[in-house]
Amino acid sequence: MKKERKPIKLRVILLLGTLTLLLLVQIAGLFPNVTTPFEQMEYSARDLLMRLRGEETPSDDIVIVAIDDESFNWTGFQWPWPRSYFAEIVDQINAGGGKVIGVDIFLFEPDQNVENDQLFADALGRSNSAVNVLQILKRGDEQFTTFTLLQPLTPYRKALDGIGITSFIRDEDAIVRSVQAFDSYNGETYYHWAFEVARLYLGTEPPSSATDTNMKFNGQTVPLNAGQLLVNFSGPAGSYPTYPAYSVALGDVLEQNPDAFRGKIVLIGATTVTLQDIYPTPFSTQIPTSGVEIIASTIDTLINGKYITQAPAWLALLITMAAALLAYLISFLKRPSLTISLLLASMVGYLAIGFIIFIRQRYVLPVVVPQIMLFLGVVLPTLEQAVSQELEKRRVRNLFSRFISPEMVDQMMSTQDLSSLNKRSDISIIFSDIRGFTTLSEKLSPEEVVALLNPYLEAMSKVIYKHGGTVDKYEGDAIIAFFGEPVPFKDHAVRALRASLDMRKALTELKDQWAKEGRPSSIEMGIGINSGEVFVGMVGSEQRINYTVIGDNANLASRLQDLTKTYAWPILISESTYQHVKDEFDCEFADAVTVKGKTQAVNVYKVLGFKGAPATEQLKSWQK
């Protein structure tokens, strides 16, 4: 039961950890002057929703008189233009029946010719309604800050019907998505001049009850985001009808279209790059939009009530938690294809729902954090499971690397799993032992015994690995190994015999080395081999486990190894092994012996060597 609960607990920990981190980042974004990376990503997501929605038909009641490069070239004026020229423009608009004139020009300083200011103010006074801008400037540092109110000169204030702040909000990526809805100075609240234009056009009351989240205007609750009004842009730059200022002043516009300004909002402002009143917007990050056209979009938003509402913080947090719950449920699926399909379907489905809600209600749901939560909530537990499986594979690989060669381990791992290792199988078993090792040990110190034994076991194990064998265990100087599992070989008996002959060669090389070093080298090795069906698998306790063979055929291999002492012959094999190898090796019948644990005699064969090998390479008896 513990093994089943462990991955579930880890999955929950990963999920809750991810959820907690994302919630903390969302909450951090609620603090003033803190912008998280997720918020910046949400900006881009909202831009994408607007672009996918596509362009909307702008209001026919808003036109722009552009202070553009064409007008600069025609008039030859340098900036600032004489305000008497603006008076001519306003007179043309008044003649054309303009309803509200919005002047996006600072009128804080007097003209070089004071009379020009009066001419311009008189022209504005003759209009149906006129609006201009003011600024509340903040100067200083954290210790000492001053605020200054900059507003139009006195003649203009007398002529104007409305006045308001002009502040674009450039987000961290420098894109303008909103305007500052209101500001205060000496306890008095000033609203954005777009509200003043809209108020005069609609004939409604001024905005009121302004907070960071909403305000009242035209009988509606206007949603705000930290005191900012999200602009519902109709499209990229050039969406609203625009007339060059010089063409208006000359009367060409009214001559061509007498109704160009009739009953409309006419905004006068700069569109030339020279005056640097241009900004990237969600629709046109590469082609900037003039400030006056952003105001046109803002007024369009107000007079038509096309407000964009952003989901409140509590709803965003709730959606993130819902995404975590959904990810938790998906992560329990055991089929990877189904898990991936449901994950993708959930992510795409949420995007589709968010897009539909935006199109129909102009309501913006959080996109980035819920999607990240959903993705990580599924992927992290899946990765954890993959890591756990990899660790389990490494554990098994490390376990079997003690018994078989790394190549055989890799092959086994690609074809077997741990639960399939316990089975009955037809294999060949080797028992080997050093003759007279006990007597030799009595003459040596423990350190000297280990110095001999370790190189011997190392050399013999390498030979066994080389032929694809598995080392079962070491018992002192004895080695137990088998061929045919966990990687099946049809020629397991042949492999066992080849390994045995190579073990003899390796022993000879060790003896020569020991003799040169002056160490005991007069030792022999006896090997017994039997082939047959045995149980192969993991045997042991939870603390200690061994991959071993159990069965009568394994016992027979041990008995054959004991008989090598009797027959003074290096390698003895059983009848079953002989039948497997007789075509490749020369063997000689030794005897029919009734061994311990058997009621019938067993045929025992001496291995001479490879078939056809010269006499010098054949095995020989050692002295009893």
pLDDT tens digits for range 172-210: 888 999 999 999 998 899 999 999 999 999 999 999 999
Closest by CA to 620, choosing from 567, 576, 575, is: 567
Q: Has residue 4 got a pLDDT over 50? A: no
Q: b/e string for 72-83 if b means 16 or more Cβ within 10 A?
A: beeeeeeeebbb
1 — pLDDT class (breaks 50, 70, 90): very low
Separation of alpha carbons 409 and 401, rounded Å: 6
Spans of all domains in the chain: 2-37+312-389, 60-303, 402-617
Q: What is the biggest distance separating any 2 CA atoms in the chain, rounded to whole angstroms?
A: 136
Query: What whole-number distance in Å separates Cα of residue 318 and Cα of residue 172?
Result: 26
CA 518 to chain centre: 64
CA–CA separation, 159 and 131 (whole Å): 9
Reading the block at residue 544, the tokens are 């200690």
- Summarize pLDDT for 484-528 with one digit per residue, the tens: 988 888 999 999 999 999 999 999 899 889 888 888 777 889 999
Residue 551 has pLDDT above 60, yes or no: yes
Given a cut of 60, whether residue 615 has pLDDT beyond it is yes
- Higher confidence at residue 253 or residue 421? 253
Instruction: Give the H or E element holding residue 361.
Output: helix 336-361
Dist CA 484 CA 493 (whole Å): 8
**CB of 511 closer than 8 Å to CB of 520:** no
The Cα–Cα gap between 121 and 113 comes to: 13
Mean of the pLDDT values across residues 18-39? 80
Give residue 143's pLDDT.
Answer: 67
- CA distances to 2, 494, 526, 542, 556 from 5, rounded to whole Å, are 5, 47, 50, 18, 44
Note the pLDDT of residue 83.
95
- How far is Cα 343 from Cα 146, in angstroms, rounded to an integer? 54
Phi, psi of 28 (to 5 degrees): -60, -35
Query: What pLDDT was estimated at residue 491?
Result: 93
Q: Assess whether pLDDT exceeds 50 at residue 22.
A: yes
Mean per-residue pLDDT, 217-228: 93
Tokens 């079997």 belong to which residue? Answer: 400
Q: What pLDDT, on a 0 to 100 scale, did the predictor assign at position 80?
A: 93
Q: Quick one: average pLDDT of 240-254?
A: 95
Residue 7 reports pLDDT greater than 60: no
State the pLDDT at residue 65: 96
| 364-411: pLDDT as tens digits | 999 999 999 898 888 877 776 666 666 767 776 776 666 555 655 665
Q: Is the pLDDT of residue 5 over 50?
A: no
Residue type, 331: S
Q: Residue 130: what pLDDT? A: 96
Q: Residue 2: its pLDDT value, please? A: 41
Least reliable range by pLDDT among 238-252, 366-380, 387-401, 443-457: 387-401
* Distance from the Cα of residue 243 to its chain's centroid: 50
Report the relative pairing of strands 470-475 and 585-593 from DSSP bridges.
unpaired
Strands 242-244 and 62-67: parallel
Return the CATH number of 402-617, one of 3.40.50.20, 3.30.70.1230, 3.20.20.120, 3.40.980.10: 3.30.70.1230
pLDDT of residue 417: 56
Nearest C-alpha neighbor of 36 from the set 160, 171, 158, 170: 171
The more confident residue out of 576 and 146 is: 576
- Which segment of 259-268, 284-293, 402-411, 513-522 scores lowest on mean pLDDT? 402-411
Selected residue with higher pLDDT from 597 and 528: 528
| Confidence band of 346 (pLDDT split at 50, 70, 90) | very high
pLDDT at position 3: 42
Question: Of 61-75, 98-112, 533-547, which range is least confident?
Answer: 533-547
Average pLDDT value for residue range 585-594: 90
Q: What is the pTM of this model?
A: 0.66
Provide CB contacts within 8 A for 282, sequence distance 6+.
Answer: 46, 47, 50, 51, 175, 177, 233
> What pLDDT does 330 receive?
86
Average pLDDT over residues 457-482: 90
Cα 394 from Cα 399, distance rounded (Å): 8
Tell me what the pLDDT averaged over the chain comes to.
Answer: 88
Q: Please report the pLDDT score of residue 6 as a whole number.
A: 46
Q: How sure is the predictor about 542, in pLDDT bands with cuts at 50, 70 and 90? A: low
